[in-house]
């Protein structure tokens, strides 16, 4: 009895295997499923280079073929094919239909050897600036990662420029450039990298240009332990207290009640005494904190006579751009 059931199970399993094999042959035997998910999503384009392998067809197998600038490719027996805009899977099906006239159930494998049809430029404060290939659908964060990520001095915003023929950027504040051929928009890097605003992590398209400028600086000079420039890497301003903290605090000779903020105007950075700030009151919590903007200079003098204050402020302006940058 046990032997009977054993043979019954063996026969049933063999039948199922044969049925499964027949189903696979009838549904997908003509084209082998060899492409990864990335290649399956990628749309072929001009200048891409493909390697095609067809079992029992040496004229095609393992030879590189370049998609021409018009989006066509020439293959032995299959002839001239329009492939631009096709996913790899669709090209395999097209080849299978063409080659079925010459061989039975052609087994085809296609790999993209070089991606050259979807360039995107990323410039500025990234580890590897330059032209990168999208190689399928990618979002802003994906492209930044492909460029090695942001440098420590990257600013808080990214500017993206897109050809108008590729569509208007789906971002708030998107506007045409002076030529009318591109749309431009800014994106907060902090919000998209932290997930605060995933809607702005848009899909990048071929020929987009991404620019990550260097962060602006706030300068803290004078009687602090570590005079230098503070990078506004994740924000467009910084509190006065935080700036002093990053400068490692005041020296023993500081005169915090006589602190000054020198702010740039349309005429440049003022060399006057600047805006007086009672830093002692702010640090003690008796006065509200203030925000320092890009290119502001916070100057903390020492206990010098009032007549020397203007000269000290002028010196602060002169040395501001030559100090060490800290984060």
CATH architecture of the domain with residue range 217-326: Roll (3.10)
For the chain, how far is it from start to end, CA to CA, in angstroms?
80
- Asked which of 1-15, 58-72, 254-268, 298-312 is least confident by mean pLDDT, the reply is 1-15
Q: Are 263 and 274 in contact (CB under 8 A)?
A: yes
Other C-beta atoms within 10 Å of 24: how many?
11
CA distance 81 to 68: 10
**Torsion angle (degrees, nearest 10) of CA 39, 45, 51, 55:** 80
Q: Would you state the pLDDT for residue 1?
A: 43
Tokens 């204050």 map to which residue?
A: 309
Give the pair of three-digit tokens for residue 10.
Answer: 């063996």
How much of the chain, in percent, has pLDDT values that exceed 70?
77
Nearest by Cα to 153 from 172, 127, 131, 175: 127
pLDDT tens digits along 227-262: 999 888 878 899 999 999 999 999 999 999 999 999
Phi first, then psi, for residue 130 (nearest 5°) are 140, -160
How confident is residue 139, by pLDDT bands cut at 50, 70 and 90?
very high
CA distance 46 to 167: 20
CATH architecture of the domain with residue range 29-114: 2-Layer Sandwich (3.30)
Q: Average of pLDDT values for 299-324?
A: 61
In DSSP terms, which residues pair with 16 in a beta bridge?
none
- Residue 60 or residue 90, greater confidence: 90
Domain ranges of the chain: 29-114, 119-212, 217-326
Q: Would you state the pLDDT for residue 116?
A: 86
Does pLDDT of 172 surpass 60? yes
Run of H or E including 312: helix 309-320
Other C-beta atoms within 10 Å of 95: how many?
24
Superfamily of domain 119-212: Outer membrane lipoprotein wza domain like (3.10.560.10)
Run of H or E including 265: strand 264-265
pTM above 0.85, yes or no: no
| Mean pLDDT computed over every residue of the chain | 81
**Same fold for the domain at 119-212 and the one at 217-326?**
yes
- Asked which of 5-19, 142-156, 290-304 is least confident by mean pLDDT, the reply is 5-19
- Residue 194 or residue 36, greater confidence: 194
- Buried-exposed string 286-312: b where 16+ CB fall within 10 A, e elsewhere: eeeebebeebbbbbbbeeeeeeebeeb
């Amino acid at each position: 009895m046990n032997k009977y059931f054993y043979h019954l199970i063996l026969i049933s399993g063999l039948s199922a295997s044969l049925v499964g094999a027949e189903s696979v042959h009838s549904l997908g035997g003509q084209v082998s499923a060899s492409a990864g998910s990335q290649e399956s999503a990628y749309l072929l384009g001009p200048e891409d280079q493909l390697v095609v392998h067809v079992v029992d067809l040496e004229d095609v197998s393992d030879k590189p073929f370049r998609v021409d600038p018009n989006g066509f490719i020439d293959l032995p027996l299959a002839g001239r094919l329009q492939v631009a805009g096709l996913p790899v899977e669709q090209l395999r099906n097209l080849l299978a239909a063409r080659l079925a006239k010459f061989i039975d159930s052609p087994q085809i494998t296609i790999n993209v050897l070089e991606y050259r049809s979807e360039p995107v430029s990323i410039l500025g404060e990234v580890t590897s600036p330059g032209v990168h290939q999208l190689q399928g659908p990618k979002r802003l964060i994906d492209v930044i990662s492909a460029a090695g990520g942001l440098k420590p001095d990257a600013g808080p915003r990214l500017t993206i420029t897109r050809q108008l023929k590729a569509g208007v950027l789906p971002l708030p504040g998107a506007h045409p450039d002076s030529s009318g051929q591109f749309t431009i928009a800014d994106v907060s890097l902090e919000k998209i990298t932290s997930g605060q605003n995933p809607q702005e992590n848009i899909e990048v398209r071929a020929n987009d240009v991404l620019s990550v400028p260097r962060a602006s600086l706030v300068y803290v000079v004078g009687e602090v332990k570590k005079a230098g420039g503070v990078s506004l890497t994740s924000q467009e301003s910084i509190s006065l207290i935080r700036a002093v903290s990053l400068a490692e605090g005041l020296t023993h000779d500081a005169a915090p009640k006589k602190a000054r903020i020198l702010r740039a105007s349309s005429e440049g950075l003022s060399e006057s005494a600047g805006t007086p700030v009672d830093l002692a009151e702010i640090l003690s919590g008796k006065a509200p904190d203030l925000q320092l903007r890009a290119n502001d200079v916070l100057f903390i003098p020492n206990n010098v006579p009032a007549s020397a204050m203007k000269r000290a402020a002028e010196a602060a302006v002169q040395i501001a751009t030559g100090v060490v940058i800290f984060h």
